[in-house]
Structure 1
Amino acid sequence: MATISKLYSMREAAEHNNREDCWVVVDGKVYDVTSYLDEHPGGDDTLLSAAGRDSTEDFEDAGHSKDARELMKNYYIGELDPNPVIPELEVFRKDQPSGFTTKLREMTQQYWAAPAIIIGIAVVAGILYSRKN
């Protein structure tokens, strides 16, 4: 008899991202590693930094052994939903200012005094220098 896996959305997995409730996603599989945090050879901070996100690349880069991969089966709770529903997308118009241009405009309005002072000092220094000669 085949075992039916529970499907989890990435959004749902992302909600489990702390010491009391820690899930990681590796190769489309979801693992609840909360009870393994204190036993992890790399330390709990390694798992916590991977919690609530797809950490397949981090897992592969660490070069886990065959035994580690077997141990993962104990923490398996389901599969990542391969067909996630995107609840909503934010639409941007071309005439709508982007975050960068808005921040740049705010910075120039906020910090206009410093360049004005530097230019003013340069003008005064130039006038004083030209009077001496």
Structure 2
Amino acid sequence: MLSPDGRTLLFSSDRAGGAGGHDLYSATMIGGVAQRARPLAGGINTAAQEFDATFLGDGRTVVFARALDFGSAPVRQFIAYEHAGRHDAGHALPAPVNEPGGDSYGAMLDGSRRDMLTYSARRAGGEGLDLYRVRYRMTRP
């Protein structure tokens, strides 16, 4: 996923050198070419799986999915704020993004308004994965 200004590529990888599992990385884009990728600094990457990340409109705040494992643990959407080049560990987003008994993946932004799209396996309400639109308001702690 590219930052809103197109200068930073954000992605997940299980490459060596991370905190464990899949971690979030960024690479500066110069002339359409990604430069050396580095793990996001701070507490955002953990021994769990971090993936499906996107920047919010400020180009610094990251929304991403986290699961303890890819087998039995629920997948939740988290938000992490950047302070002085380092992202905090993030905190789980409340309902309606994360609902009990379901998994929430793949935050995507609708650049024309303050909506976030996410797909979710909410077992009680549908079959398989369903797409949800969630309105958000940008506030920093």
- Structure 1 and Structure 2 fold alike (TM over 0.5): no
Bigger relative contact order (CA 8 A; separation at least 6): 1
Q: Which has the higher strand share?
A: 2
TM-score (norm 1): 0.28
Q: Which has a greater percent of helix?
A: 1
